[in-house]
Amino acid sequence: MRIIAALLKPLSFVPALLMMYLIFSFSSQNGAESSSLSNKVTESALIVADHVLDKGWSEEDIQVRVEKYGYYVRKLAHMTEYCILAVTISLPLYVYGLRGFPLLVLAGLFCVVFAASDEYHQTMVANRGPSVRDVGIDSLGALVGITLVRIFSWIALGGDTRRRRRRRYR
């Protein structure tokens, strides 16, 4: 059983690789494609909000709100992508035994470097450019993801693992 676990453990990084590919593919879209996708997502969210909140917005009202809120939806998408990336990196590192501050530093550094390289990648895409602000937003999303993994792991393990380990060896 340990052999199977040892062979499967490296596969725990596959979701992180898939997320990195997804982020890279979004960054490969030219400016028009990226804006169009963001506007479609914003419009869909507003249509759902209109139905749920029963606002009765016209198509024109929705388009005005797409222009108003599109920027924020884009930035929220950045945060969400990197939150998911951080989770998909932090969980396998946690499984490999990395805990506490070292987990925060390694997973966080990886996400920040990937965000910076992704912004550099955008310099080679038509009508796209790098943004230090986006790296900051991505980093904030990564911090949220790492924190969620640490909280989830702490809860799943029933609290302070150091105290539990000490009790076990007495």
| 69-97 confidence digits (pLDDT tens) | 999 999 999 999 999 999 999 999 998 88
- Predicted pLDDT at 158: 80
Per-residue pLDDT band for 6 (boundaries 50, 70, 90) equals confident
Residues in the chain: 170
Tens-digit pLDDT profile for residues 16-67: 999 999 999 999 999 899 999 999 999 999 999 999 999 999 999 999 999 9
pLDDT score at 128 = 92
> How many whole angstroms separate alpha carbon 129 and alpha carbon 121?
9
What is the pLDDT confidence band of residue 163, given thresholds at 50, 70 and 90? low
Q: Is the pLDDT of residue 145 over 60?
A: yes
Across the chain, how many H-helices and E-strands are there? 7, 0
Whether residue 165 is predicted with pLDDT greater than 80 in this model: the reply is no
CA-to-CA distance for 14 and 12, rounded, in angstroms?
A: 6
**What is the pLDDT confidence band of residue 114, given thresholds at 50, 70 and 90?**
very high
Other beta carbons within 10 Å of 50:
16
